[in-house]
A and B are shown apart, each in its own frame.
Chain A
Amino acid sequence: MRLSALLLALVVSTGVHAQGQNNYGSIYSLYGLGERVEFGSSQSAALGHAATALRSGTYVNLSNPALWSDQGITTFSAGASLATVRGEDALTDESSIGTAGDLSSLHLGIPILPARLGLTLAYRPFSRVNYRAAIEDSISVEGDMAPYTLNQEGAGGLQQLSAGLGGKVGSFLQLGASADVLFGSQELLQRTDFDDNAFLETRQARVTRLRGITATLGAAVTARNLATDDDALTVAASVRLPASLDGSRTVTLGESLDRDTLRAPDGSLSVDGDVTIPLAVRGGVAYLSGLRWLAALDASYEPWSGFESTLPVGGYDPASGLDLLSDRFRVGGGVEVTPAGRDRRAPVLQRSSYRIGGYAERGLYAPAGEDVTTLALTGGVSVPNRLTGARFDLGLEVGTRGSAEGVLVRDTFFKGTLTLNFGERWFVRRRFD
């Protein structure tokens, strides 16, 4: 237990510390409500994010509530991530490097009826805005040149709080549903800094607060003993329903506690609006051979071309007709090998799980009519702790996004995740002699 507490503290503190970094990522996060964040479990993150059909007694898969019925013990996980993005484009010879950290997930899973009915409470990011573009230029002020740096920075994003149940119907069908609260804020900061101290730094921020509720429905079907006595094939699907979010936007001038709120043209301090996020459909298949290896494949679709908003967001403005958002597709998969299966007497390296995968994604934005494709490799290792029942998962993801042609940017990103998963048997019925 002390080791688990130590590891949990390390993970959480790392997440908190990572959030204190400069927190810049991809320039593409300016589009829509930010870069979509995928996280089912630390296991699926290393398998190309193939999560829809990935059943596990150790991990709670947040992508499909139907799989929450697999919980046999009370589980808890906390994860943190840190990503470095190097951006290049054809318009400048320079490259940018940004680093952003985040708390990737928190969840608590409770088996109401072990292996039949499970409750899960979870938090994870839904989207992230974390970009910065810097322009160095100068302006002539009545004959005197004044150099300056103009920064446009985006921060924030939406968070997702989920609560739901997953249950087993019969021997091969699982169904589940969750209520998902989406909330958060998006801040676009325009900061201009002059070299001459006679000029004050100006900071104008547009803050949009959003909140709404939606639901996710899931189903999974499992067939066993197909090729061997201990194999299983799971086919699953989940749907997150479209979400209507209430929004409120304010524009402020100044910094920190000394901000002035600029009035809207009608004299009000904020502008209200509505944002409609499209549905998300996922389908997947996973094959488990004994307890030693598994393979998973996943596909997802989000029709962001159907995104609607009465408030302008990156790449979308209802007033001018600007709409650079497009449908998002993702295909991913991976393989996991655990040499010793569940043999608790085997050495740690034999009981560790080794994962490799990859995914391809067409982003939800199409700047200048050009699709932006992401190709990435994923991998990871899960190290068990025999005494505490915890697993310490380290995941890595490396890939490219976009291209350095035209106005597009090519991102090369490297992401590391650290997740602690542990479970205990709670609510044990006392036995008397």
Chain B
Amino acid sequence: MRIATGRRWEGAPSPRPIPRPVRLSVAAAAAVLLLSACQDPAGVGLGLIDEEQLNPNVRTVPVTALAETADTTIAIGIAATSTSGAIQTRVLAGRVADPVFGDARAVAYVDLLQSSALDSGAEPGDVVDAWLELDRVYAYGDTTTALPLELREVQGDWEVDTSYPADTLFATGDVLSTTTIVASDTLRRFDLPDAWVTANAGLLVGDDFDDDFEGFAIDVPASFVAAPGVVFGFNTFASEGSGLRVVVDEDTLLFPLSEVFTSIATDPPTMAPAGTLGLRAGSGAAIRFDADFSSIGPTPLARARVRLPVDASLARDGAFVRPIADRSFLYGVRTVDGEETRTLLSDNVLYDGDDELTVVATGTLTSQVQSLLLDPSEAFERYEVRPVAGIASLNIYPLVLPESQPEAGPRFTLTLVGSAPE
């Protein structure tokens, strides 16, 4: 048995070129097939399609058991601004009387770093003057108050440590400087006495400044009576102007803030608002709630959104302001192998400036809710809303309780596509 190979023998004529009709046919066919256009079909044939089960629809899942829960994860201690994981971008100082959300007192502690622009040959005699400047960016309380503040030097060591209680107070020396600040002020200056400058000139230009100097405390005078008073917040970034100014020869050097800490002491409210879960963000408390998705079933989900109505009227009472927490985190909590685990569902629970807290970037939340719709065993035991760490504030969560607003109360809003398949 032999398979014909088609081998040419010597003397055989050379193969003729491909006939023109064949070439043209191939070229035409290739052009037709390869260059055929295609357009997206329009709404033709819809009368033949059973589209009822495909329609997007909106379902709401009410939030239940809205309450306060302990928050033990907030960094309530000291942070070094160079450590991004524990950064504190703001310090608070002042005192306010607030029967609705509770009285509060804040003391700011700021340590400093020697300026990197300091001439290595600088002598103590070159130090001419020094003052502390802080950039005011926040107010809680009566914005017409002229708040007196005292500057003292911190005595004793204090370290970056997240285990300090929120109301820890450090030992301080005598008053070095005083100033009065109002809500219209931005950059506020604490002039240091000439005697202090002279006594500390060697430290300011020496090699051991970062280790030996423990910073300043900013507090209201003991005689100050909050009626109702105010608490101001100051930005900790040198780029915003906060820091110690030291005049060396003819140069004004900036010593930026390093470790910062705000001691906050609060009292319970005496006139809690009715129908509202009044919490102060960052007070060691967070919001918790439940939601039951079992009635939805395994359905395609286009978007899941959390909507928590707030009583915005509590944010301002004439000149008295209470900023609503403008950004929070949403977590889902479930128990895995006997331990509670928190899953971040959104890092953008924002106050919309009107009447609710809501998740803006919904991608992660939608994916997580889709998972638990498909597999109910993935459901969370509860949900928690926590304020953003790293920004000291007295912000409030004036959440409307479900029973106070049965219509459009706190809820999940789900945009589903179709219904669960049968």
Contacts and interface: CB of A to CB of B under 8 A. Distances in A.
A119 interface: no
A394 B49 CA distance: 35
B47 interface: yes
A235 B397 CA distance: 88
Interface stretch (A133-141, A302-310, A333-341, A356-364): A133-141
A97 B39 contact: yes
A275 B142 CA distance: 78
Interface stretch (A49-57, A110-118, A191-199, A238-246): A191-199
A152 B57 CA distance: 17
B301 A200 contact: yes
B38 A82 contact: no
A141 B415 contact: yes
A190 B41 contact: no
Interface stretch (B27-35, B101-109, B182-190): B27-35
A150 B303 CA distance: 15
B417 interface: yes
Given A92-B43, A265-B422, A429-B1, A192 B302 contact: yes
Interface in A184-229: 190, 192, 194, 198-204, 206
A290 interface: no
Given A82-B32, A394-B29, A199 B49 contact: no
A348 B40 CA distance: 41
A355 B19 CA distance: 21
A10 B413 contact: no
Contact of A95 (B26, B42, B58): B42
Interface in B26-69: 26, 29-30, 32-34, 36-49, 51, 54-58
Contacts of A134: 40-43
Contact of B42 (A92, A141, A198, A204): A92
Given A98-B38, A133-B46, A200-B366, A253 B300 contact: yes
B44 A202 contact: no
Main secondary structure of the interface of A (DSSP, over half): strand
Given A84-B36, A152-B51, A387-B16, A14 B30 contact: yes
A27 B43 CA distance: 11
A260 interface: yes
Given A17-B34, A150-B55, A262-B421, A142 B413 contact: yes
B18 interface: yes
B238 interface: no
27 contacts: A3-B18, A30-B49, A82-B32, A84-B36, A96-B44, A97-B38, A135-B43, A142-B413, A146-B415, A148-B56, A150-B54, A150-B56, A190-B300, A199-B303, A200-B303, A200-B366, A201-B302, A202-B301, A206-B421, A262-B421, A263-B298, A352-B21, A367-B48, A416-B33, A426-B4, A429-B2, A430-B1
